Amino acid sequence: MASSFTLRPSRAKRENIRRRILVTGAAGRIGSFFAETFQERYELRLMVREGDPVDAIEGMGEIVTCDLSDLDGLKRACEGIDTVVHLAAQPHPAATWQQLLEPNIVGTYHLFAAAKSANCRRVIFASSIHAVSGYSKDVQVKTSDPANPGDLYGVSKVFGEALARYMAEQEGLSSIAVRIGAFQTLERARQYWSVSMMDAFVSREDLMQLFERCIEVERVQFAIVHGLSNNRFKRLDLSTTRQVVGYEPKDDLTKENPQLAPLNLSGAVQTHSMQDGGESGLREEIGL
């Protein structure tokens, strides 16, 4: 089975210098919360489009205006940057090819090319669960499983993942693709309707932890990682993500949703192993 990540030789330990991070799509839901979370930890350059509201990110970093169609502008935005967190995109799963082509295909290429030109250390590409949503609902998808997009939006994210691997392994630009699930607050997870996303939920806090791990991990040259919380039922497998970047999600929608929390699914659903308190034939046999 093909690996979904590649490592590089260990480097000398990095001095404790504040990283400079470029965030594209900084005015969006994820970008603005990233800025709020990491404004003290990192030196942020927050990229928005002309006309985007910036009130929510004022004072959290250097705000620059640039469009993904502007390769020269993106090169300037990437100057002096350690890591790019690339969130800007057409985000709607029902988008048409024409709506996706410029921002998600051409724009993604421009961003990676600009990061390479500026000698950035890494690009973190915001992929999506839609890159593999074509699998049936009873399949838990591993990072090593072939891409299987469920819509054209997912197709555009598969393109970004392939470009990220090319840039990492052929052009030397470390790249990590994060397949983001249903990004919501804990307050929204506590709404009755949230049961529909119980296998795909990722809390704001868990996704920020994953982004931080992706920024800080040193040995990864390329990886696809899965961005879900520690839900009792997970559409995407987290084992490789835990192993490669050290991700340890804390939240679980089945504990937050008022319809599911009383069921105590984490404890009530059997693991079909010794964890359920069954007798051990081995221990009985050797007298333990």
Over residues 21-61, the pLDDT tens digits come to 999 999 999 999 999 999 999 999 999 999 999 999 999 99
| Domain harbouring 71, CATH code | 3.40.50.720
- Residue 274 pLDDT more than 90? no
Report yes or no on 277 lying in a domain.
no
Length of the chain: 288
Q: Give buried/exposed letters for 214-244 (b at 16+ CB in 10 A, else e).
A: bbebeebbbbbbbbbbbbbbbbbbbebbbeb
Annotated active-site residue 247? The verdict is no
Residue 36 belongs to some domain of the structure: yes
> What is the pLDDT confidence band of residue 174, given thresholds at 50, 70 and 90?
very high
Q: How high does pLDDT run on average in the chain?
A: 92
Confidence of residue 108 (pLDDT cuts 50, 70, 90): very high
Tell me what the mean pLDDT of segment 180-206 comes to. 94
In a domain, 74, yes or no: yes
Confidence (pLDDT) at 268:
74
Instruction: Identify the pLDDT of residue 260.
Output: 78
Question: Is residue 235 domain-resident?
Answer: yes
Tell me whether residue 6 is in a domain: no
Domains identified in the chain, total number: 1
Asked whether residue 276 is assigned to any structural domain, the reply reads no
Confidence at 162, pLDDT banded by 50, 70, 90 = very high
What pLDDT is attached to residue 241? 98
Q: Is residue 149 part of a domain?
A: yes
pLDDT band, very low/low/confident/very high, at 271 (cuts 50, 70, 90): low
**Amino acid residing at 120:** C
In the predicted model, is pLDDT for residue 243 greater than 90?
yes
Q: Residue 84: which domain range?
A: 16-257
Determine contact, residues 175/161, Cβ cutoff 8 Å. no
Cα→Cα distances 28→24, 36, 182, Å: 9, 12, 15
Report percent pLDDT > 90 for the chain: 80
Catalytic entry in 42, 109, 135, 153: 153
Tokens of 53: 């509201």
